[in-house]
Amino acid sequence: MISVLIADDQDLVRMGLRVLFESEDGFAVAGEAADGLAAVEVARDTRPDVILMDIRMPGIDGLEATRRVVADPALPDTRVIVLTTFERDEYVFDALRFGASGFLLKNTKPAALLDAVRTVVDGGALLAPSVTKTLIREFTGRAIRPTAPHPQLDRLTEREREIVTLVGRGLTNHEIAEELVVSPATARTHVSRAMIKLGARDRAQLVVFAYQSGLV
């Protein structure tokens, strides 16, 4: 059973998400929160598998709430999915940097949202393709982009650095395999090794490391 905490300041959004998860086998709603502080408190009380986190909420926003949840030693297995209404949300990259496992648009179809939660619980990360491409354009288009290379970057092989670059560009394992003319299994293995060497919590954090290290 996958437990989900719904954090959103709109009653109708919380109600709709609750109905969705309560009507689906294999899911349970751990609780609800209408602001960031409540989200952190309810998370500590219920220890959900996944938090669906609205980015703009009263009190502390979803960004700060995400940072507190990820940094909380009592919540090592709780994953955060940021839900946003806008593709051009300036806070999305910071949410990933603070440990969110990915983000989706609020108009994501119910079946895709359910699959996304399952993906995160299984240790994967998700980045809505349209949002990822927008994020990449915004980030790489900045005139001045300070970089801070990851301290373990030198541990990567040349191929692994190439892999991290492609992950940072938003490519899936299948697309990486096509780009490098290798099997999807080989691409997946390289991604996993790069994550281990860089200490990435999940694929989303690997994207952040690629940006911060100047590989993208």
Tens of pLDDT along 6-27? 999 999 999 999 999 999 999 9
Is the pLDDT confidence value at 117 over 60?
yes
Residue 43 has pLDDT above 80, yes or no: yes
pLDDT score for 125? 61
Using the predicted structure, report yes or no on whether residue 216 has a pLDDT greater than 80.
Answer: no
Indicate whether 144 pLDDT > 70: no
Q: Is the pLDDT of residue 85 over 80?
A: no
Average pLDDT score, the chain: 85
pLDDT at 23: 93
Q: Give the other-Cβ count within 10 Å of 189's Cβ.
A: 14
Instruction: Identify the structural domains of the chain with CATH numbers, from first to last.
Output: 2-138 (3.40.50.2300), 153-212 (1.10.10.10)
pLDDT at residue 27, as a whole number:
96
Rounded percentage of the chain residues whose pLDDT exceeds 70 = 85
Per-residue pLDDT, 12: 92
pLDDT at 157 over 60: yes
Give the pTM.
Answer: 0.72
pLDDT digit string (tens) for 58-80? 989 898 999 999 999 999 889 99
